[in-house]
Amino acid sequence: MRLNIAVLPGDGIGPEISARGVEVMRAVCEKFGHEARYAYALCGADAIDRVGDPFPEETYRICREADAVLFSAVGDPRFDNDPTAKVRPEQGLLAMRKRLGLFANIRPVQTFKCLLHKSPLRAELVDGADFLCIRELTGGMYFGEKYQDNDTAYDTNRYTRPEIERILKVGFAYAMRRKRHLTVVDKANVLASSRLWRQIAREMAPAYPEVTTDYMYVDNAAMRMIQEPRFFDVLVTENTFGDILTDEGSCISGSMGLLPSASTGEGTPVFEPIHGSWPQAKGLNIANPLAQILSVAMLFEHFGLGEEGALIREAVDASLDAKVRTPEIQVEGGARYGTKEVGDWITAYIAAK
Ligand code: IPM
Ligand code: MG
């Protein structure tokens, strides 16, 4: 297969983990005879510094023309601490999602047996937890009408029927491919937007008789996720709830640096780790590259290249078993491996297979 990949390293630890992702991708392409081309593009604070725009037109063009985007992270404390900043790195990410029409964000939450003890939850509780959060990504409060003056501010949580239908469809489709259990998460006891979600979900459910569909308020879902994470199979929810719940979900596995995601929809799909840019770790070679590397696995799988994805997952598992791990998940007294060394080990494993 020929693949044109737009690579957006972004800020903070972004460039370091991006390099590991690309290396792994090269190794897999070599092994399976695929031809991939990489076009690098600016985004985030880096793009603001260089061209004054967190998602420049040129980046949009490169993304639009690519088959997939390998994205790393954006964000910089210089902007977080400045309430007067007119542009922010995060706007680049939101612009990318919106302009590429990426309405479905798929965030798998998985556990790794050998890392169960790293979870803030008891190992016996998280063992075997394996669910998919499907987050609506281009609607709701993130993009609804906003207003702010000195005394009043609001964000509008607007959703239309087509927006809700298309994301629920994605939810049902994933549930059909998995354990056929879909949980629709909302706040229908309070919010009109949620009541519409629930109404539409109830209308659609009979078309998927094999799927057990249940409805859960978001506050309850937040609790259930840490009380009984194995309850969930596929969870679908709106943009803001999904943002919050997926950070919560990511803790279950023991490190934020482990979980990848895919954003899909109308335009070029984007594959990215769920963690942020961790500016304090920039250049220190300590960030975990696994979420980025697993994003590459999701990229291959998206194009139906299951064996390629499986080999990456096997290599990641092998690196964990061999205790080739970044500091935050290393065993006590274990050898020190940095971002680069973990990436190199995985690349070598793939090449040697
Ligand atoms: C995420 C992030 C983004 C979001 C930020 C960086 C704008 O938290 O992808 O979850 O809120 O969507
Ligand atoms: Mg988030």
Mean pLDDT of the chain: 96
Residue closest via CA to ligand 1's atom 12 equals: 243
For residue 83, pLDDT over 80 is answered with no
Q: Which residues surround ligand 2, an ion (CB under 5 A)?
A: 243
List, for residues 192-230, the tens digit of each pLDDT value. Answer: 999 999 999 999 999 999 999 999 999 999 999 999 999
> 243: Cβ below 6 Å to ligand 1?
yes
342: tokens are: 């973990």
Residue closest via CA to ligand 1's atom 4 equals: 243
Asked if 72 and 274 count as a contact pair (C-beta separation under 8 A), the reply is no
C-alpha separations of 79 from 16, 46, 83, 274, 279 in Å = 21, 12, 8, 20, 12
Separation of CA 335 and ligand 2 centre (Å): 32
C-alpha separations of 231 from 114, 131, 206, 221 in Å = 21, 9, 22, 10
More confident residue, 114 or 58: 58
Q: Using the CB atoms, write b or e for 135-146: b if 16+ within 10 Å.
A: bbbbbbbbbeee
Q: Report the pLDDT value the prediction gives residue 18, as an integer from 0 to 100.
A: 98
Q: Report the pLDDT value the prediction gives residue 45, as an integer from 0 to 100.
A: 96
Q: Report the pLDDT value the prediction gives residue 254, as an integer from 0 to 100.
A: 86
Establish how many alpha carbons lie within 13 A of residue 257's alpha carbon, considering only the half-sphere containing its beta carbon.
Answer: 25
For residue 343, pLDDT over 90 is answered with yes
Sheet containing 260-264: give its strands across: 35-40, 2-10, 68-73, 270-273, 260-264, 104-110, 130-136, 234-237, 181-186, 212-217
Residue closest via CA to ligand 1's atom 9 equals: 274
Residue 180 burial (C-beta neighbours within 10 Å; 0-12, 13-18, 19+):
middle
Separation of CA 137 and ligand 1 centre (Å): 10
Q: What is the pTM of this model?
A: 0.95
Topology at the third CATH level for domain 105-257: Isopropylmalate Dehydrogenase (3.40.718)
> 126: Cβ below 6 Å to ligand 1?
no
> 90: Cβ below 6 Å to ligand 1?
yes
Q: Which of 72, 88, 93 to mutate to test the pocket of ligand 1 (most atoms within 8 A of CB)?
A: 93
Q: Which amino acid is at 204?
A: M
CATH fold match for the domains 1-102+266-353 and 105-257:
yes
The total number of residues written for the chain in this structure: 353
Residue closest via CA to ligand 1's atom 6 equals: 90
More confident residue, 244 or 256: 244
What gap in Å lies between CA 216 and CA 68, rounded to an integer? 34
Q: Which of 80, 88, 243 to mutate to test the pocket of ligand 1 (most atoms within 8 A of CB)?
A: 243
Task: Give the start-to-end residue ranges of the domains of the chain.
Answer: 1-102+266-353, 105-257
Q: Quick one: which ligand is closest to 248's CA?
A: 2
Separation of CA 276 and ligand 2 centre (Å): 8
Q: Report the pLDDT value the prediction gives residue 80, as an integer from 0 to 100.
A: 85
Q: How confident is the model at residue 155 (pLDDT cuts 50, 70, 90)?
A: very high
At the top level of CATH, the class of 1-102+266-353 is alpha beta
CA 149, 154, 159, 163 dihedral sign is positive
* Ligand 1 atom closest to 93 (CA): 7
List, for residues 325-336, the tens digit of each pLDDT value. Answer: 999 999 999 999
> 234: Cβ below 6 Å to ligand 1?
no
Per the residue annotation, which of 247, 282, 340, 344 is the catalytic one? Answer: 247
53: tokens are: 């725009």
What gap in Å lies between CA 60 and CA 105, rounded to an integer? 19
Separation of CA 244 and ligand 2 centre (Å): 6
Determine whether 219 is an active site residue: yes
* Ligand 1 atom closest to 94 (CA): 7
More confident residue, 117 or 193: 193
